Amino acid sequence: MGGEFEVSSLKNLLNLWLDNRLTMSGLDSTFSAAFTHYSALAINVLGRQNLSNARWNVEVAYNTSNAFYQCFLSKEMMYSCAIWGEEEHGVRGDLTVGPTAGDLEAAQCRKIHNILTKARVHAGDRLLEIGLSWGAMAIEVLLPQAALLGCTVDTVTLSREQMEMVVQRSLEAGVSDRVRVHLCDYHDMPASFEHAFDAVVTTEMIEAVGPRYMHQFFQCMDRALKPDKATMVITATSQPEFRYTDYQYMPNHGITGHSRGDHGNPEDNCNDVGIYPTTEMARCITHFIKRGVTWSRRKQEVEESSFGRRSWYWMAVLGQVKSETNRTCAFNMVPDALLPPDAAEAAEPYITGDEQGEEGLGQLAEYMHNLLTHQHRCFAYGFYVQGKYARLLYFDRTGALLSEAFDWSEPTSLLHDFVWKVAHMTPEQLGYDPSAQVASESDLDLLRSKMACSELETLPAEVQQYVLRRSGT
């Protein structure tokens, strides 16, 4: 781009670097390594991330002329990884086939739509973007769907250059009334942002937050999201595990490794607030399996921990979900108010009556039986979901109660209220018998003797006499 050198093959140049990266990593002099280490230590102690430092970092990185970034970014000006499809011959298409016109723009557009799909943007939603780049996400969510959805986007940045360009681009696109750019740090978002957003999106910005400040970041996002139903989508850069130590010295850098290993990283903080990166975790599992010995050790640790004992002993509430109506459904899920007039004459109008439905009902009863058998509970709750309708269940040792079917698709439905209440119930309210106590050794001996006697009674009389003679009783 600078014209300082030319190569006949970009692919061969990159392959040369990749083939020798481990060798080149060992070429640092002792002085260079020591300088890097102590510089990072000084930054950790003296230069911790604060608002002033954050603004300075942005000034250095992003307040460079927009024309500079336009030289190598796509027309959308997305400064983050694209999603390359088969149309662009995959992520290595430039190296294996060669570039094609518009391939970067197509891959970036695919990435934007993928993020917006995960954010579950609906009609009238309000979207918050942290780190707006040059407005591609904000404008893309509005342009094709503005008339239909009527969404609004608030975007936060510390770069004045980016803000000015986004304001201009939104005017040109005719969506300036629905894009609001805020020149501030995410810590200083307006008070009006509290619980105001249906979705939050941040694209490869979280690396700059750093592990030390991850909790603060998620606290700010939690304040911005609506408390009842909202979504947050985060994309982040990852690095191979062997390069982790190169970055862990940096106080404000949180590049996620391919596997967690024994290192602390942002993934732990994500899990703490209920965010589970399923794709990354699947990659972690594959990585552990390939490592053989490490996986064996991890497998044993998991089995010995509580994570390996998710059984009937640990279940609090039984739930069964079916995405659509079929013959295996245990209950008729049409609300009673919508049933035909003659349906009320049936003894059990909520039972489907189909043979497979009866089997499904028996399966549900078996599950609840297992729960009550393995726990010292007098009763237990459950729920049954089929599509947009649900019923609440109550089981004790004498029978069961079933609520009327209701629509649970709204955030104020009875099912949402039920789950919230269950999460705040005491053990007694969940059905646990307060009179139950831990059995002593003498209690266990008595139980064993009774069980032995019960088994003895099932044997033929002559065998019983032989066992009694041999035991001296």
**Same domain flag for 456 and 407:** no
Domain membership flag for residue 206: yes
Q: 44 vs 49, 51, 334, CA distance in Å? A: 9, 15, 61
Q: Per residue, what are the HEC states of 37-57?
A: HHHHHHHHHHCCCCHHHHHHH
- pLDDT > 70 in the chain, percent: 57
**Residues 6+ away with beta carbon under 8 Å from 28:** 36
Point out the domain boundary residue: 304, 333, 361. 304
| Domain extent at residue 458 | 441-471
What is the CATH classification number for the domain harbouring 147? 3.40.50.150
User: Which pLDDT does position 283 carry in this prediction?
Assistant: 43
Q: End of a domain among 280, 304, 328?
A: 304
Give the model's pLDDT for residue 222: 92
Task: Verify that 190 and 234 share a domain, yes or no.
Answer: yes
What per-residue confidence (pLDDT) applies to 338? 52
Shared domain check, 380 and 299 = no
pTM of the predicted protein model? 0.49
Write out pLDDT tens, residues 221-270: 999 999 888 899 998 877 665 555 544 444 444 434 333 344 444 444 44
185 shares a domain with 159: yes
**Alpha-carbon dihedral angle through residues 152, 215, 230, 106, given to the nearest 10 degrees:** 60
The answer to whether residue 428 sits within a structural domain is: no
Token code pair at residue 40 = 């990072």
One domain, residues 295 and 351: no
Is 391 domain-assigned?
yes
pLDDT digits (tens, 9 = 90+) for 322-346: 766 555 666 666 665 555 555 544 4
Q: Residue 193: pLDDT band by 50, 70, 90 thresholds?
A: very high
Q: Is 161 inside any structural domain?
A: yes
**Would 245 be classed as within a structural domain?**
yes
Helix (H) / strand (E) containing 238: strand 238-239
Q: What is the mean pLDDT of residues 83-88?
A: 83
Q: Are residues 151 and 251 in the same domain?
A: yes
Residue 192 exposed, middle or buried by CB count within 10 Å (0-12, 13-18, 19+): exposed
Where are the extended beta strands (E) located within 316-443?
A: 318-322, 379-386, 389-396, 400-402, 406-407
CA distance 83 to 108: 6
386 with 259, same domain? Answer: no
Q: Are 154 and 182 in contact (CB under 8 A)?
A: yes
Report d(CA 327, CA 357) in Å as an integer. 6
Domain boundary residue, one of 269, 304, 339: 304
Based on the domain organization, do 268 and 125 belong to the same domain?
yes
pLDDT at residue 279 greater than cutoff 50: no
The tally of domains found in the chain comes to: 3
* C-alpha–C-alpha distance, residues 45 and 48, integer Å: 7
* Residue 106 within any structural domain of the chain: no
Whether 205 and 330 map to the same domain: the answer is: no
Average pLDDT over residues 21-43: 58
Same domain, 251 and 297: yes
Most confident of 18-27, 99-108, 265-274, 425-434: 425-434
Q: Say if 133 falls within a structural domain.
A: yes
Say yes or no: 417 and 451 in one domain. Answer: no
Same domain, residue pair 264 and 404: no
Q: 201 in a domain, yes or no? A: yes
